[in-house]
Each structure stands twice: as structure tokens, then as C-alpha cells.
Structure 1
Amino acid sequence: MLSPPDAALPPKGLLLAPMEGLLDFVLRDILTRVGGIDRCVSEFIRVTNTLLPDRVFTRVIPELEHGGRTFAGVPVRAQLLGSDPGWLAENAARLARLGPAGIDLNFGCPAKVVNRHGGGAALLDEPELVARIVAAVRRAVPAGMPVSAKMRLGFNDGSRAVECALAMAGNGAEELVVHARTKADGYRPPAYWERIREIRAAVAVPVVANGEIWTVDDALRCRAASGSSQLMIGRGMVADPGLALAIRRHDDLGLAPAEPVVAWPGLLPLVRDFWRLVCARLEPKQRAGRLKQWLNFLRRRYPEAEAAYLALRTETDEARIGAWLATGAQ
């Protein structure tokens, strides 16, 4: 049964980014407990030439079994990736019945295996196909369910960025997130936030800025360069789980703290919860690697995470990892 869709983002709203292989439902759960995030977007669910069963959607987005929200109550919008308008529409209609906080379409993934099959950022060379995809999905889902899209500036260059944005907004996408790099740029700094301003001037829907936002200062510079007050943050939030709260503190009080808003003693219980969830929900071969992956990000901001990463980087035994987190990670 459909749940009510989430409201539009507030003027300075903050989204948690989808990141394949990193920002999954476990980390969404943990990071939204910290606070400051208005809405999440799931990792993409790939659609080819089949109608996916419900279990595929709920495996990637277990929040569908909890009203389309994380346990902290933050809405989760479900993201689809593919290149066939008909199959995307059929799958979006089935997914909509499960009650996500909207359907998001991926036009930004830079992975070679995805692009090789005509998905993700590769579609930015085909704005006519982008238009057909968005229109088909918009027709397929209930009128009250939001449809949004995430794009990069382009594939090899940004010459068609505005054309692609118009194809999305003109065919039913109610919100665009723009990662301010091309596929060719990958994740190399910088992000070209100023290019988002051109897109904002061309479309009549909200445009959310994304890319290379690691600190409060980055967030402020991105807003100034892009003209977008609404932001999507990904790796910066993984590295500093209090980043959204820090941005909100600056918005409310004009303060930009040098130290993390969430100190290590407050974060450590969440690291332990993360480990418990990983052990409960992921395959054994994935567990130790997922913890080390997050600690590797956290050590950008936390010396204690550096110590934890060094202590555990060669450890694979779950019991010893759990024991160290319980007693050694102080």
C-alpha cells in the first residue's frame, strides 16, 4: 500500500547521496540516526528486460517494509537505473506499490560496466531517450508520487547538460540533483559547481547541488557558486557523520565548528551498532571489509578511527573485531 510521499525539500534541505557499494541501507540507518538529513536516495536498482519481484526491491531498500523510512524516520526515495523506457516504467509502477518516498532515476553512474550497457551517465549523450524514460516513468506511477532524477554534467563533456536537464524537467521530473562533474571527470576534484547555475536558470524545478562537499566551508562555497541552497552530500557525510548537523548549525547560528560536531565518544556506539547490523544483514565475506571501508573514511576526521583502522585492517575474525570494538576503540 502506498505511503504518503515526503514533502518537498525545505529551502536549505540536505539529501543523503546514493553510493553503490558504500552508502547502503545499513549506513543510511546509522547516518540518519545522527540527524540533519531530510531525505535519502537508495543505491540504484538495475532494470534490464524483466519485471523484478518485490524481494529485489526490499533487499536493496529494506526501509520499504517500514513505511519507506529509515528507523530514524527519514524518507527514502528509491532509485532505478536502466535504458529501456518500457521496462523502467513497469518496474517503477511495481516499486511504487511498495510505498517509497518517490522514484528517482539514475543518469549519473560513471561505472564502466553500467555505461557499457547504455545506463547511467552514458544516457547523457542521448537526451531524446532521457526524455522518453522520464515521461514513461512519470506516466506509470501514481500522480501523487514524486519522480526525480540525478545526473552528471555529461559523459565526455558538459556540452549537453542543459539539454539533458530540460529533457528531464520537461517530461515530469519534479526535482533534479546535479553532480557537478562529467563521467570523464570521475570523482577527481574539483566539482564544477558554477555549471549548476546554468541548469537552474533553464529549468523550472528545484535543482540540488552535489559533488565534493566535505566540510561546512565546501557547502557554503557550493551554494554560492551553484546558486542552489539545497545540497546532496555523500562521501563527506560518510567521513564526518555530523556534517549535516554542522551545516545546519551554520545556517541557524552562523557557526562553523573546526572539530566534528559528533565527537568520537558519541560516534563510537554508532560504529558498534554498524558492526552489529553488518553482521546481521550482510554476507560473512562482506562484513570485515565494510567496517574497514567506513573506518577508512572516518579517519579523515577522527584520529581514533585511524587507530581503529590500523588495529583492524588485517583482522577478519568477527569475534575478535567485535571484542576490539567493545574494549579497544576508546
Structure 2
Amino acid sequence: MRILLAPMEGLLDYRLRDTLTKIGGYDECVSEFIRVNDTLLPAHRIYRFVPELHQNSRTMAGIPVKVQLLGSDINCMAENASMVASLGAYGIDLNFGCPAPTVNRNRGGAALLKEPDLMYSIVKSVRSAVPSHIPVTAKMRLGFDSTEQALVCAKALEDGGANEIVVHARTKTDGYKPPAYWEWIHKIIETVKIPVVANGEIWTVTDAIRCMEISGCENIMIGRGAVANPSLALMIRKKQQDPHSWNDTKGILRSYWEKLELDMDTTSRGGRIKQWLHYLSRQYFEAERDFEIVKRFRKLDEFETYWMET
């Protein structure tokens, strides 16, 4: 079994990757998507999203990080993938799953699920541009507004040369509303010969076990569940039901705050802590209490007092 840490736009960035992979249980991470339009991106922009490239494309805990690209221009995707590979990327991941309306309106993410031929061409072009020892993988949903072309899209990715597919078991229209349709992942596994990773609605050890049983998938990717319960990957790997205590989790939260202090502006810092506490409240009642306290904070010294008093 492999456990992958998913990207989450605006939250699960390199700082949180570092924090969560230090806790343990992960085999691999994927970066937040880097949008590709019609130009070759400068290296400094890639490094801004994936500073792990400076350390052999690994987090401080040694977990490899794939760089995720999002776009619809076949040639530009290939050129940027080649450049990212030259920076020492562990792997290239292609985003065909983002449901954000602003992304979809610009022919990106899940919008491409309506164009499996284009998906094929993008993967084929990227695979040709990237050295063979660097994996090219893709993430998809079950479709845009229906599952009608789910198997066609998965086959297009395989035929284009993808080494692996991560399947978020919902359509774009489903968004993040439960349930996740894990049985569709099983259909995809029966259609393609490359490895498939199951993703979507894995919040607990029980969810992970059920997902693997229903999908027939040995490998899983977790995102929101990992943010809500930082010890989830370890719990799944060890098949245990006890998460870290709230005191331990509060220490992890404080460590994350210290990372934010290094290079994030003051307003965004507070927002990230509020955002993470909101997710943690799903697992810890104490987090819900603390969220109610900090959501009113407007000044950094209020956060500093909070860390010292709680």
C-alpha cells in the first residue's frame, strides 16, 4: 500500500507538506497546481511553489514531491514540464480534476474531462518531453457533469503515456459533496493496465479500508482527511484508531505557525491558522472551541498570546 498526500489549493502548500510528512505515514506528495498558460514559466516561480526542488525534490522528512501542472496548451505544457524536470523534479503530475469555476472557465482542470482527445495529446506531449526515468502521472475526476466518459478519459491518459492515475471519485459537478463513488474506481482499474490511486472522502481508517475494498485499489491519496487529522496516514498504515492527542496536535499547529512566520505576510498567516483549525474541528472538539476564539483575531499579538495561554 502507498499513501499519497494530496495538494489543497490555498492551504496544503510546502509548509504544511513539511509539517504533515514529519508526522509520518506518507510515501509521496503532490504540489499545488502551477498554472500554465502560453509562456514558459521562470524557474523562480516553480521554486516558489515547490522549494523542495532545492533538496532533491523531497520534504525535510525525505518524502518525494511531484510537481503538478495545470493547463490546456499542448506545447506549453510540454515545454514547462521539460523545464520542471530539468530542475530535478521527482515527477510531473497533470491536473485534470480541479473543479474551481475560474480554472474551468479558462479550459483547465476538470473542464478537460469533456475533451478526452485533448487529455491524450497533453499527456503524450508531456511524456515525450520528460526524461523516461521521471514519472508522468495524472489526476482526474469521474467526469465533468456525468460519469459517461470516465472510462474513456482514463484510457486516454493511459494511452497518452501516463505512468499512474489518481482518481477523485466524484464528478466536477459533485464538487466535494459526499458520497464518493469508489465503485467507479474499480471500473477504471478494470479498464486500464497502469496503477490507479483512489481519492475522495477518506476521513478515517474505516473509510480507507472501505475505499480499498470497494475500489479494489491498494493505493490511496488523502487531502482534507489528512488536514482534519494529522495522524491519519499513520493510523491507516498501522490500522489503529487513536489519533494524536489535542495537546500534541496543538504543538504541531504551533510548529506550523512558526513556519508561516518565516515568509508569509501577517494577514495570510492568521487566515491559514483559522483555516486549519476549522478542519481540525472535525476531529477535535477543542479545535472548534479554539476556532471560535481565534476567528475574531485581527492582530498578530493576539495569536502570540493565544499560543502562550492555551
Which among 127, 143, 149 is matched to residue 154 of structure 1?
143
- Work out the CA distance in 1 between the residues paired with 2:266 and 2:69: 27
Q: Report whether the alignment pairs 1:302 with 2:284.
A: yes
Choose which of 217, 225, 238 in structure 1 pairs with 2:227.
238
Mapping 1:117-132, distance limit 5 Å: 117-132=106-121
Which residue, 189, 192, 202 being the options, matches 1:203?
192
Matches within 5 A, 1:269-280: 269-280=251-262
Asked whether the 8 Å contact 1:25–1:60 carries over to 2, the reply is yes
Aligned positions of 1:150-229 closer than 5 A: 150-229=139-218
Separation (CA, whole Å) in 2 of partners of 1:36 and 1:290: 23
| Residue aligning to 1:266 | 248
Displacement, 1:267?
Answer: 1.9
Specify the SS of the correspondent of 2:29: strand
Runs of 4+ in structure 1 deviating by more than 4 angstroms, as ranges, are none
| In the alignment, structure 1 residue 79 sits paired with structure 2 residue 68 | yes
Residue 66 of structure 1 is matched in structure 2 by 55
SS in structure 2 at match of 1:183: coil
* Counterpart code for 1:309: F
The answer for unaligned runs of 5 or more in structure 2 is none
Q: Counterpart of 1:141?
A: 130
SS of aligned partner of 1:31: helix
In the alignment, structure 1 segments of 5+ residues that lack a partner are 1-11, 251-255
Q: What is the count of residue pairs matched by the alignment? A: 310
1:127-183 CA distance string (max 9 Å, x none): 110000000000101111000000000001011111111111111100000000000
The answer to whether 1:46 aligns with 2:35 is: yes
Match of 2:4 among 3, 10, 15: 15
1:292 and 2:274 correspond: yes
Asked if the contact 1:51/1:90 (under 8 Å) is kept, the reply is yes
Aligned counterparts of 1:97 and 1:168: Cα–Cα separation in 2: 23
- In angstroms, what is the RMSD of aligned CA positions? 1.0
Query: How far apart are 1:323 and its partner, in Å?
Result: 2.7
Identity %: 53
Q: Report the 3-state secondary structure (helix = DSSP H, G, I; strand = E; otherwise coil) of the residue aligned with 2:33.
A: strand
Please say which of residues 58-67 and 148-157 is displaced more in the overlay: 58-67
1:37 aligns with 2:39: no
Q: Distance in 2 between matches of 1:247 and 1:40?
A: 16
Q: Which moved more, 1:277-286 or 1:210-219?
A: 277-286
In the alignment, residue 313 of structure 1 is paired with which amino acid? K
**SS across alignment from 1:32:** helix
The Cα of 1:319 is off from its aligned counterpart by: 2.3
Cα deviation 1:175-210 (Å, max 9, x = unaligned): 000000000101000000000011001111100000
Contact in 2 for aligned 1:39/1:75 (Cα 8 Å): yes
Question: Following the alignment from structure 2 to structure 1, what is the Cα–Cα distance between the partners of residues 296 and 22?
Answer: 29
Residue 294 of structure 2 corresponds to which residue in structure 1? 312
Tell me how far apart the structure 1 counterparts of residues 212 and 185 of structure 2 sit (CA, whole Å): 10
**Counterpart residue type for residue 95 of structure 1:** V
